[in-house]
Amino acid sequence: MTVDETIVRGRFESGELEAEFRRQFGRAHWFQNSVAAAAGLFLYSIFGIVDRLVSPEEWRWLWQIRFGFTLPLLVAVFAVQFFPALGRRYSGPIVFVAMLLAGSSIVVMNLWMPPGAENLYFYGLLLVIIFGHVFWRAHYLWPTIASILLFVFYLAVTLGQGAPSPAHLVAATFYYVSALTIMIYAGWFFDRQERRSFMLQRELQQAATTDSLTGIANRRAFFDHLAQEWRRARREGETLCLLVVDLDNMKEINDTGGHARGDEALKQVARVLAVHARRPGDLAARLGGDEFVLLLVGSDGKGACEVAEEVVEKVRRGPLSGVTVSIGVACVVPPRGQGYERAMQLADQALYEAKRGGRSRAVCKLLVQEEGGVGKPEGQISA
């Protein structure tokens, strides 16, 4: 499926993918929208000078609408934007409400314009839709709906004042609809480009962190993830278990069935390991060649050994006969001042013992923390 095929009617088909895009979109544009909010408040305020110049007799009424009513509400709405968690999530509703407030006030202020300038502030509506569609980054449907509602309100107020000339209605409709059409297209285009960029970046990231043959994480992705989980487990005093997995007879498989059979054997092991990476933080990866690893977060030694036994059995009974694995297991509560290297070393030692003990088996070791942060082996379990 191509990048464009994953986008249907301005949304991703997958709800999970759409949610991920929304989160990234909010993070990417939070600062830009915050600047737009500050600029919008400034511009709306500075147009008070125009009120004073255009309507020297009614400017007090205009200022009551602008500064006494609308501006405080705009400040309250835009204040939500300056809280990152809220601004990133509700950028669409924020601009929707802000556009309705600012645009409606412009339509109402137009009622106080002196003769000859009755529709002078109509052009202010164009500034509102440009702000919502271009300077503010949100899904284009929010500013589109706000723009349509504002034009309907403008027409209702204008007709309520009296019958405007046909030329005025045609001109106003032409200008507004033309500007809105351009803005909707621009919003749709920007949104689609954002989604394409998101998908391409996601695919590049997956290619850089995924083993192309087996589809599970590669060596780089695993050690980046392990370093992150190691720090978190150290803070929270949580146990991490490493299962280092190695095919017992890769050379024989390649010699008897060729590399195609060898590739299928690797995929079989990867599928079994991926099934056991169930909880958040768990990860199955191929370290290279015929060596794999499974990280289990929050599992105790007994549970990790049971998983290792299941992996050994499922690989042995897999659809491709003659494939077996040996597993070395190390479980540890990460001690302060130490990296994950000691745990990896212990798991490798357990794997060596499993190989030496007859293969197609698992050897489990636990690592406890002594005073001073030094780890030592606590015990060993053979499966």
Amino acid at 91: S
Residue 377 has pLDDT above 60, yes or no: no
Whether 159 and 49 share a structural domain: yes
Whether 343 and 265 share a structural domain: yes
**Where in 32-153 does DSSP place strands (E)?**
none
Coil, strand or helix: which one is 89?
Answer: helix
pLDDT of residue 224: 92
Residue 270 main-chain phi, psi, to 5 deg: -60, -40
Smallest Cα–Cα separation from 344: which of 226, 212, 239?
226
Q: Compute the average pLDDT of residues 172-198.
A: 88
Percent of the chain with pLDDT over 90: 45
Residue 266 has pLDDT above 70, yes or no: yes
Bigger pLDDT: 145 vs 114: 145
pLDDT of residue 10: 59
Whether 160 and 236 share a structural domain: no
Percent of the chain with pLDDT over 70: 91
Residue 117 main-chain phi, psi, to 5 deg: -130, 35
pLDDT-derived band at 42 (thresholds 50, 70, 90) equals very high
For the chain, what is the mean pLDDT? 86
Q: Compute the average pLDDT of residues 288-300.
A: 91
Smallest Cα–Cα separation from 326: which of 242, 243, 248?
248
Task: Tell me, yes or no, whether 214 lies in a domain.
Answer: no
**Rounded to whole angstroms, how far apart are CA atoms 39 and 32?**
11
Task: Tell me, yes or no, whether 140 lies in a domain.
Answer: yes
Smallest Cα–Cα separation from 328: which of 365, 299, 291, 356?
365
Token representation of residue 55: 């309507």
Bigger pLDDT: 257 vs 51: 51
Last residue of some domain: 177, 207, 237? 207
Smallest Cα–Cα separation from 192: which of 8, 383, 381, 2?
8
Whether 235 and 188 share a structural domain: no
In this predicted structure, which of 137-146, 272-281, 337-346, 366-375 has the lowest mean pLDDT? 366-375
How many Cα atoms within 13 Å fall on the side-chain side of residue 258?
1
Residue 28 has pLDDT above 70, yes or no: yes
What's the structural domain count of the chain?
2
Whether 113 and 238 share a structural domain: no
pTM for the whole thing? 0.65
Whether 164 and 242 share a structural domain: no
Task: Tell me, yes or no, whether 212 lies in a domain.
Answer: no
Task: Tell me, yes or no, whether 318 lies in a domain.
Answer: yes
pLDDT of residue 136: 94
Instruction: For the chain, state the CA radius of gyration.
Output: 32
Task: Tell me, yes or no, whether 31 lies in a domain.
Answer: yes
- Whichever domain contains 351, its CATH number is 3.30.70.270
Whether 101 and 154 share a structural domain: yes
**Rounded to whole angstroms, how far apart are CA atoms 362 and 244?**
10
Last residue of some domain: 157, 180, 207? 207
Q: Compute the average pLDDT of residues 61-67.
A: 93
Task: Tell me, yes or no, whether 52 lies in a domain.
Answer: yes
Bigger pLDDT: 178 vs 161: 178
* DSSP state for residue 55 in the 8-state scheme: -
Whether 116 and 250 share a structural domain: no
Task: Tell me, yes or no, whether 272 lies in a domain.
Answer: yes
Token representation of residue 353: 């013992």
In this predicted structure, which of 2-16, 41-55, 334-348, 368-382 has the lowest mean pLDDT? 368-382
Most confident segment among 158-162, 350-354, 371-375: 350-354
pLDDT of residue 271: 94
Contact (CB, 8 A) for 348 and 241: no
Whether 232 and 340 share a structural domain: yes
The number of angstroms, rounded, from the C-alpha of 95 to the middle of its chain's C-alpha atoms is 21
Whether 144 and 234 share a structural domain: no
Task: Tell me, yes or no, whether 213 lies in a domain.
Answer: no
**Rounded to whole angstroms, how far apart are CA atoms 215 and 274?**
10
Whether 160 and 291 share a structural domain: no
Residue 2 has pLDDT above 80, yes or no: no
Residue 298 has pLDDT above 90, yes or no: no
Q: Compute the average pLDDT of residues 88-110.
A: 94
**Rounded to whole angstroms, how far apart are CA atoms 363 and 309?**
9
Residue 188 has pLDDT above 80, yes or no: yes
Last residue of some domain: 158, 174, 207? 207
How does DSSP assign 295-325, residue by residue? EEES--HHHHHHHHHHHHHHHHTSSSTT--E
Q: Compute the average pLDDT of residues 75-85.
A: 94
Residue 279 has pLDDT above 90, yes or no: no
Per-residue pLDDT reduced to its tens digit, 340-371: 898 899 999 999 999 888 888 899 887 644 33
Q: Compute the average pLDDT of residues 52-62.
A: 86
**Rounded to whole angstroms, how far apart are CA atoms 63 and 51?**
7
Smallest Cα–Cα separation from 98: which of 80, 84, 115?
80
Give the range of the structural domain holding residue 343, as residue numbers without chain letter: 219-382
Whether 344 and 232 share a structural domain: yes
